[in-house]
Amino acid sequence: MTHLALMTQHLDQIFVLTSHWLLSYLPIALQPLCSAILSVAAIIIAFATLFALTTLLERKGLGRMQNRYGPNRVGPCGLFQPLADGVKSLTKEDIVPIRADRAVHFMAPVLLVAASFMGYAVLPIGRNMVMVDMNAGVLFFFAIGSLMELAVFMAGWSSRSKYSLLGAMRAIAQMISYEVPLVLASVVVLMQAGSLSTVAIVNMQATYSGIWPHWFVFTPWGFAGFALFMIAATAESNRSPFDLPEGESEIIAGYYTEYSGFKFALFFLGEYIGMFATSGMAITLFLGGWSAPFSFLTWIPSYFWFFAKLLTIISVFIWIRGTLPRLRMDQLMNLAWQFMLPMTLLNLLTTGIWHFMLPGFLRWIVCSTMVIVPCILLGSGLKYKKKFQIRTYHFSQ
Amino acid sequence: MVGEGILKGLAETARNFFGSYVSKDRLTTVQYPEQREPQIEATRDFPFLVYDGADWQQGMRCVACQICEKECPPKCIFIEKSKDKKPDAFGKMQIYPATFNIDISVCMSCQICVEVCPFDAIKMDVEYHQSSDDRFGALLLNKQRLSKSNEYYNAIHPTEASAVDAQRAEELAKLEAKAKAAAEVKAAAEAKAAADANPALNASPQQPAGDPQ
C-alpha cells in the first residue's frame, strides 16, 4: 500500500524530480538560471503543442457542428494539419506597408506572444509545478495580461492604415471594458482566500469534505464569479461571440489587417496562448487548479487534472463559437457596462455576506437568491428597455 | 427567460456534433478524389471531335468547313484543310481537317461551335481533370487528343447522342433510298435506253424478218 502511494506520488512529481535530477549535475551558481530556462522551455513547448492541437480540434469541432468533416487530408485524420499550417505561414511573403513604422510593426506580434506567455509564470500547472510562487501572483497575471492591449494598439498604430487603427481602437475599447468585470469577478476569490498567491488559492481548494472538493465554483458567489469571469475572458481573448475586433467575415482582420505570413501566425498564437492563460487562471481561481474533482481520484497525477480542465474549457469555447452569432459593438458595450459590471459588484457584496454568515443552509439560500434574482431582473429589465421597431434606412431607399 | 435562446442554440450545435458521428447522411460532403458525384447529363466543359467506327482518322466526321472556327467568339479553334479527300460516313468524298487545334485555355465553353456544326462533328465533353504543369502545350489540344468515339459520346450524353444517331441514320436511309431510286431511275433509263436502242437494233432484224411476210 505504501509502495503504491509512493509510486503515485513519484508519478505526480515526475517533472519536478526530473528537473531536480538534471540540475544536480550543474554547479550551484548556475542552478537558478538553468532551472528558470528549463521551466520556460517546458511551458513554451507544452502550450505551443496545445495551441497546435487546439487549432485542429477547433476546426474539426466546428466542422462537426456544421455537419462537415473538418480537415482530414494531412496525415491520419488530419492530425498533421497544424504542421502544414505552420509551414504555409512560414513560407508566405511577409509584407510590411511601405509607410509603416517598421520597428513597432515588427515588435507588436512579438510583444503579444511574449506577454501572453508571461502569465504562465504564476499558474500552478500541478502540485509544486509553478514557475514562480509570487505572493502577488494574481495581480502579476492581470498586469501582464493588460500588456496585450498595448501590443494590439502597437499593431494598429504602426500599420499606418485607417482600417488597422480603427480595428485597434475597437479592440482596445472592448478589452479595457471587459478587463473591469474580469478583475472584479476574480476579486471574490481573493476576498475568500485572503491571498493573492495562486499556489495558496489552489491549496485552499484542494481539500475535501467526504468525496467533494472545496472548489470555489461550488458556492453561489463562486459560480456567479466563474460565469462572469468566463464571459469576460471570452471577450478579453477576442473570441466568438465577442470576436468583432477581428470579425473574419466582415472586417478582414481588424488591427492586424496589414500583417501577413508568420507575423499573422504569431498574432494567432498569441491570442490562443492568452486564451489558455486566462482559462488557466479561471481554473486556478474557481475550479481548484490541479486538484482532482473527487477525493478518490487523487492518485491521478495533478498535472493531468489541470490539462483535463483546460481542455474542457477549450471545448466549451469551441462549442460557444460554433453556436453564437457575433455581437454588435453597442451590444458588446451594453453587456459589459450594464450587465457584467453591476453583477460583479453585487457578487462582491454576496461574497462578503457569505463570509460573515455562519456556515449552514441559510447562507446558501440567501446568497443564491442574491445571485439569481438580480441576474434575472437585470436581464429581463435590459430586454424590456430595448425598443423593437421597424428600422428605416434613409439612404437605401 | 434570460439565456434560453443561448441554451437552445447550444443544444442544436451539440446535436449536430454528436449526430454527425452517428448518422452518416448528415455529412453531405463528397470526399472528392476518392468519391465522385455522378455528373448530370447536361454537363459540358470543352469541345471534342466525334468519329464513327474504330479508326479515328478514317471515321472523323469533321469536313473542315471552318464554320466553328469563324463562329468561335474567343477564336480558340484553328483548322487547316487537307489537300486530298476521304469518304465520309455517308460515302461522299470530303476534305478533312489536316490540323484541328483547340486552345482550351482560351475556350470559354460557350457551345457555339457545337450549335453551328452542320455535320454533328463537334460536341461538348465532360472531362474536367485538365490540370497540368505545362501551361501551353498541355492545354492546346490537337486533332488526336480531341478525337473521341461516338460510343464515348453516347456514354456521356445518351439522350442527345441517340437523337443525333437517329437523325444520321434517317439521313443515311434517305440517302440510300435516294441512291436506290437514282439507281432504279438510272437502271430504268438504262433499260429504256436499251429498249430504245434495242428496237432499232431489234426492229431492223425483225423488219427484214417481216419483210418477207
B2, B14, B20 member nearest A67 (Cβ)? B20
pLDDT of residue B152: 92
Question: What counts of helices (H) and strands (E) characterise chain B?
Answer: 7, 6
Cα–Cα distance measured from residue A148 to residue A179, given in angstroms and rounded to the nearest whole number: 11
* DSSP, res A71: S
Q: Which residues have a Cβ under 8 Å from the Cβ of B54 and sit 6 or more positions away?
A: B149
Q: What is the ipTM of this complex?
A: 0.79
B150 burial level (CB within 10 Å; 0-12, 13-18, 19+): buried
pLDDT level of residue B209 (50, 70, 90 thresholds): very low
B1, B16, B31 member nearest A64 (Cβ)? B16
pLDDT of residue A29: 83
Q: How far is A252 from chain B (nearest CA, A)?
A: 26
CB contact under 8 A, A380 and B10: no
How many other C-beta atoms lie within 10 A of the C-beta of residue B180? 11
Residue type, B55: D
- The residues with which B94 forms a beta bridge, in sequence order, are B86
Contact list in A for residue B13 (CB cut-off 8 A) is 65, 319, 322-323
pLDDT of residue B211: 47
Is some CB atom of chain A closer than 8 A to the CB atom of B15? Answer: no
- C-alpha cell at position B204: 431492223
pLDDT of residue A395: 65
- Specify whether the CB–CB gap between A231 and A340 falls below 8 A: yes
- What pTM was computed for the model? 0.79
A288 burial level (CB within 10 Å; 0-12, 13-18, 19+): buried
* 3-state helix, strand and coil shares in percent for chain A, rounded to the nearest 5: 70, 0, 30
Contact list in B for residue A68 (CB cut-off 8 A) is 20, 27, 29
Cα–Cα distance measured from residue A191 to residue A214, given in angstroms and rounded to the nearest whole number: 16
pLDDT of residue A94: 85
DSSP string, A86-100: HHHHHHS-----TTS
- Which residue, A243, A244, A216, A213, is CA-closest to A229? A216
- Specify whether the CB–CB gap between A306 and A290 falls below 8 A: yes
pLDDT of residue A345: 93
CB contact under 8 A, A65 and B17: yes
Cα distances from A177 to residues A102, A141, A244, A333, A379, in angstroms, run 29, 18, 14, 7, 19
pLDDT of residue A396: 58
Is some CB atom of chain A closer than 8 A to the CB atom of B73? Answer: no
DSSP string, A344-367: HHHHHHHHHHHHHSPSSHHHHHHH
pLDDT of residue B59: 87
A–B: how many Cβ contacts below 8 A?
A: 42
DSSP string, A249-298: TTSSSGGGTT--HHHHHHHHHHHHHHHHHHHHHHHHHTS-TT--SSGGGT
pLDDT of residue A355: 87
Please report, in tens digits, the pLDDT of each residue of chain A (397 residues total).
577 788 888 787 888 888 888 888 888 888 888 888 888 898 899 999 999 999 999 999 999 899 888 888 888 888 898 899 889 888 988 888 888 888 998 999 999 999 999 989 899 988 888 888 888 889 999 999 888 889 989 988 998 888 888 888 888 888 889 999 999 999 999 988 888 999 889 888 888 888 888 888 888 888 999 999 999 999 888 888 888 777 776 667 778 888 888 888 898 898 899 999 999 999 999 988 888 888 888 788 888 899 999 999 999 999 999 898 888 888 888 888 988 999 999 999 999 988 888 888 888 888 888 888 888 888 888 777 777 677 777 665 5
Kindly identify which residue of chain A lies nearest to residue B3, measuring between CA atoms: A379
Q: What is the pLDDT of residues B65-114, one digit of tens each?
A: 999 999 999 999 999 998 988 888 787 888 999 999 999 999 999 999 99
Contact list in B for residue A323 (CB cut-off 8 A) is 6, 9-10, 12-13
- Specify whether the CB–CB gap between A121 and A140 falls below 8 A: yes
Flag whether pLDDT at B36 surpasses 90.
Answer: no
pLDDT of residue A388: 67
Strands B140-141 and B147-149: unpaired
Q: Between A198-205 and A162-193, two packed helices, what is the crossing angle to 10 degrees?
A: 50
B3, B10, B29 member nearest A319 (Cβ)? B10
Q: Which residues have a Cβ under 8 Å from the Cβ of A64 and sit 6 or more positions away?
A: A70, B16, B17, B20, B21
Q: What is the pLDDT of residues B3-21, one digit of tens each?
A: 788 899 999 999 999 988 8
Flag whether pLDDT at B208 surpasses 60.
Answer: no
What kind and span of H or E run contains B188? helix B158-198
pLDDT level of residue B201 (50, 70, 90 thresholds): low
% residues pLDDT > 90 (chain B): 34
Is some CB atom of chain A closer than 8 A to the CB atom of B29? Answer: yes
Contact list in B for residue A69 (CB cut-off 8 A) is 27, 29, 31
A61, A65, A69 member nearest B27 (Cβ)? A69
Flag whether pLDDT at B212 surpasses 60.
Answer: no
pLDDT of residue A390: 75
Which of B2, B7, B24, B27 to substitute to test the interface with A, most A CBs within 10 Å?
A: B2
- C-alpha cell at position A156: 494598429
Instruction: State the average pLDDT over residues B22-32.
Output: 86
